[in-house]
Amino acid sequence: MKELKVFRLLFISFLILSVVACEDEIDLDLEEGRTQLVVDAFITNDSNIQVIRLTTTAPYFLNEATPTVSGASVKIIGPAAVEYIFQDGGNGDYTYDPSTQGRLDSTNFTYRLELSYNGEQYTAHSKLNPVPPIDSMTVAFEEEELGSEEGYYTQFWARDFVGTQDFYWIKAFKNGEPIRPDNPSSLILSEDAAFGGNGADGFVFILPLRAAITNSDEPFEIGDVSSVELLSLNEDVFEYLDQVTIQANNGGLFATPPSNIRTNIRDINGGLQDEVLGVFSLSSISRNAIQIQ
């Protein structure tokens, strides 16, 4: 499936080359469904303020930010039953400041999310996996090629841990902003040091991943800063984000049947539930950056 995304890009470019395929926006009436709670909880071992965002679903063509939720009680349970309470900001953001009770940095510990809202209680688990350091970054000037513009292209160099199955999310920035602000769903994910499958265990991240940190439509120019964050993921979160990229870009000749993304949030007894959407994730994070000179 991860490879398929690569192919899909290739296919679409071929189709554009070979025939007059076209896309245009149309008006549609869609059936509306009941409203559900959405949990957006990506927590890192960092020292900056940690945010869990609670919103609800909305009709598909609402065309404004989805409604926020306040009045929920949100906490994460750490080692020795330490409770990290997330404060309701009234705007959907529930925040925790690590300078109060410390960072959530117990590597290999499985943290637990506890959430109660409208008299219902939910829970989720996520293990804080370690992340390898980004050893270095390199830059090279490249000429225009099929599907890529002329400019400076950077790569990051890191090596996957040997002997474990690891999952990562690679976030790339240009001068502190995401490299593709117009396409927030183009996530770079990796399983060990490759797109998926087994066999890349303990490798240096493969070339297509190393090179994915440059937007080939707008490569870097002299003076720009290219920076990278490497986040460790749990397998269920990796699958969740993988589904996010598929479902958010599921068009064209080789689309897969649209399906709902499975949440890792459970009812209080740990069973599957059908009320809350979203995901709970704990990540270790490592960073590096390079300025183009």
Partner 1 sequence: MRYLWTIILHLPFLLYSQEKYTISGYVRSAASGEELIGATVSIPALNTGVSTNVYGYYALSLPAGTYKVRYSYIGFDDVIKEVKLSEDIQLNIELSESLNELEAVEIEGESAKKNIESVEMSVNKIDAKTIKKIPALLGEADVVKSVLLLPGVSTVGEGSTGFNVRGGGIDQNLVLLDEAPVYNSSHLFGFFSVFNPDAVKNVRLIKGGIAPEYGGRLSSILDVRMKEGNQKEFTGSGGVGVIFSRLALEGPIKKDKASFIIAGRRSYADVLAKPFLNSGLSDSKFYFYDLTAKVNWTMNEKNRFFLSGYFGRDIFGSGFIFNWGNATATARWNHIFNDRLFMNLTAFYSDYDYAFGVEGDDRDDFEWSSSVVSQSIKPDFSYYLNNNNTLRFGGQSIYYDFKPAEATFASGGATNDISLPEKFGLENGLYIQNEQKFGSRIKVLYGLRWSHFSYLGAGEKQVFNDTIPGLRKTLVESEEFGDFESIASYNNFEPRFSIKYSLDEFSSVKASYNRMTQYLHLISNTVASTPVDLWLPTTNNLEPQIADQVAVGYFRNFKKNTYEASAEVFVKDFQNQVEYIDNADIFFNDELEADLLSGDGRAYGLELFVKKNTGRMTGWVSYTISRSERKVKGINNDDWYPSRFDRLHNLSVVGSYEYNDKWSFSANFVFSSGTPATFPTNRYEVQGIVLPHNVNNSRNNYRIPAYHRLDISATLVPRKNENRKIQGEWVFSIYNVYNRRNPFAIFFEQDPDQVNRTRAIRYSVIGNFVPAVSYNFKF
Residues 7 to 46: which contact partner 1 by CB under 8 A?
Answer: 7, 10-11, 14-15, 17-28, 30-36, 38, 40, 42
Site for partner 1 in 150-179 (CB under 8 A): 157
Distance of alpha carbon 152 from the chain centroid: 25
**49 lies in the site for partner 1, by CB under 8 A:** no
**Closest CA relative to residue 100, chosen from 73, 123, 82:** 82
End-to-end C-alpha distance for the chain, whole angstroms: 38
Q: How far apart are CA 58 and CA 103, in angstroms?
A: 34
Query: Under rule CB under 8 A, how many of the chain's residues touch partner 1?
Result: 90
**Closest CA relative to residue 130, chosen from 94, 171, 160, 100:** 160
Structure tokens belonging to residue 266: 């459970």
- Figure out which of the listed residues 106, 216, 250, 288 binds partner 1, where binding follows CB under 8 A: 250
Q: How far apart are CA 195 and CA 8, in angstroms?
A: 14
Q: How far apart are CA 189 and CA 251, in angstroms?
A: 20
- Figure out which of the listed residues 128, 134, 188, 200 binds partner 1, where binding follows CB under 8 A: 200
What minimum distance in Å lies between the beta carbon of 221 and partner 1?
19
Site for partner 1 in 60-119 (CB under 8 A): 60-66
Mask 208-227, x = binds partner 1 (CB under 8 A)?
x-------------------
**Closest CA relative to residue 113, chosen from 89, 104, 235:** 104
What minimum distance in Å lies between the beta carbon of 170 and partner 1?
14
Mask 229-248, x = binds partner 1 (CB under 8 A)?
----------x--xxx-xxx
